[in-house]
Amino acid sequence: MNETESTTSPKTKASPWWERIPLTLQILIALVAAVSVGIALGAGNPNPSNATLINNLAIPAELVLKALRALATPLILVAVLHTLMTTNIPGTAGRRLAVLLLTNTTVAILVGLLVANVLRPGTWGNVATSTTTEVTTQNLDPWGIVKDAVPEAILKPLVDNNVIQLIVIALSFGIVLRGLKSEQVAQGKKGYQPIEDVIGILFEAVARVLNWVIALVPFAVFGIVAKTVAMQGFAPFKSLGAFIVSVLLALALQACYYLTRVKFGSWVHPLKFLAGGSDAFLTAFSTSSSAAAMPVTFEVLQTKIGLRESSAALGALVGANFNNDGTALYEAMSALYISQLIGQHLDLGQQLIVILTSIFASVGAANIPNAGLVTMTLVFTSVGLPTQYIALLVTIDWFLDRCRTAINVMGDMTVSALLDGKKPRSVDEA
């Protein structure tokens, strides 16, 4: 969200010193402090007299998660409406773009689920669960999913945090508003403008509130890690380490999939794609924001890789708003990981729901830092996984967010290369 800050909030006064410490460093400091406190409080053998204190350490993480859950639905709603109202998508290329985006995202989720099912990172460490988890044994019910997708009232999905219904509402209104806008533009009218402005402002407002919540993440990390170490020692981190390795492996496989598609579906050589795109990947990695990387992505696609401007624009500027393959992969893997960790088996039907909600959640995950963490709450809710376990993932999100953002950007660039086709730009086109 740094990019929203830098583009929209002119700094009128110097920020306090703690705000100038990068968030990653704050989280690392919190981690070190938490481990020390956790060891001092017993490292797996806590003194019963400290029980209340140890339990209270989880309060910041609970509050942060509650706030993230509350922000998830408005974030998705305004992000989708904003994208649909403001982006310019030409007809045929638009349909091709939609197909490419959907295929890539589905592949990403399948890769994530495959790696999580094979490596089973959640079973690598023993985590004593503090909550009773009800085991839901829903069977695959496609008709039920369709029936569930239609909300009973317009605002109900916002209240229930139901991602599929929310996306149905957001897409319906987004498409209609988009149609109304183009009718008005054709007639030279400007009635749509106030609505577009309001949606833009609301989007920024949600992003800024999200910024506040993210600023509290170091406290949440401190509390949850200190509590975990105090109560259970270091065993849970073994499985968290396994999870990090699994996610990195899945992201690497997804990158290989992109390179293969680029090789066989476009004129671009995969090595040129990697070398030319390095600035964009690095910007994505260092800012954790594909929106912040967007101008760089657009630029390198044309100047370093040599794509046509129209293909670069469709993938990097339009696709980027909908396309978050790394995020989708991560959300699905997280759901499976937590289900393994707490022994709440997700059957095939539930994994299908995870696929569907992860697609929607990734579409709604605005291209800003930690947005995936916010929408993940909706994926968990859809299959009855307890969202408090996301607190565990908060501790590593600062790192995995960077990695998945780089893959999000690589996905956008792949789409651009595929749209550019098998023939390089000719000299007259340049």
**Nearer of residues 174 and 369 to ligand ASP, judged by Cβ:** 369
Q: How far is the CB of 178 from ligand ASP (least distance, A)?
A: 23
What angle is formed at CA 75 by the lines to CA 377 and CA 58, rounded to 5 degrees? 40
Letter for the amino acid at 187?
Answer: Q
Chain residue whose CB lies nearest ligand ASP: 372
Residue 428 buriedness (CB in 10 A; 0-12 / 13-18 / 19+): exposed
* Minimum gap (Å) between residue 234 Cβ and ligand ASP: 27
Specify the residue, 122 or 319, whose C-beta has the smaller distance to ligand ASP.
Answer: 319
Measured from the CB atom, is 228 or 375 closer to ligand ASP? 375
Query: Please, what sign has the CA dihedral across residues 249, 62, 73, 336?
Result: positive
Name the residue nearer to ligand ASP (CB basis): 1 or 35.
1
> Least distance from C-beta 296 to ligand ASP, angstroms?
13
Total residues belonging to the chain: 430
Cβ closest to ligand ASP, residue 72 vs residue 169: 72
> In the chain, what is the straight-line distance between the N-terminal and C-terminal CA atoms, in Å?
34
CA distance 15 to 44: 40
C-alpha closest to that of 312 among 93, 105, 106: 93
Rule CB under 6 A: which residues touch ligand ASP?
Answer: 288-290, 324, 327, 365, 367-372, 401, 404-405, 408
Asked if residues 288 and 1 have their Cβ atoms less than 8 Å apart, the reply is no
Name every residue whose Cβ is closer than 8 Å to that of residue 374 and which is 6 or more positions away in sequence.
68, 71, 72, 75, 210, 365
Q: How far is the CB of 373 from ligand ASP (least distance, A)?
A: 6
Of 60 and 411, which has the nearer Cβ to ligand ASP? 411
Report, in Å, the least distance between residue 215 CB and ligand ASP.
Answer: 16
**Closest distance of CB 251 from ligand ASP, Å:** 12
Minimum separation from the CB atom of position 408 to ligand ASP (A): 4
- Crossing angle of helices 325-341/91-119, nearest 10°? 30
**How far is C-alpha 386 from the chain's CA centre?**
19
Secondary structure (3-state) at 273: helix
Q: Which is nearer to ligand ASP, 397 or 420 (CB)?
A: 397
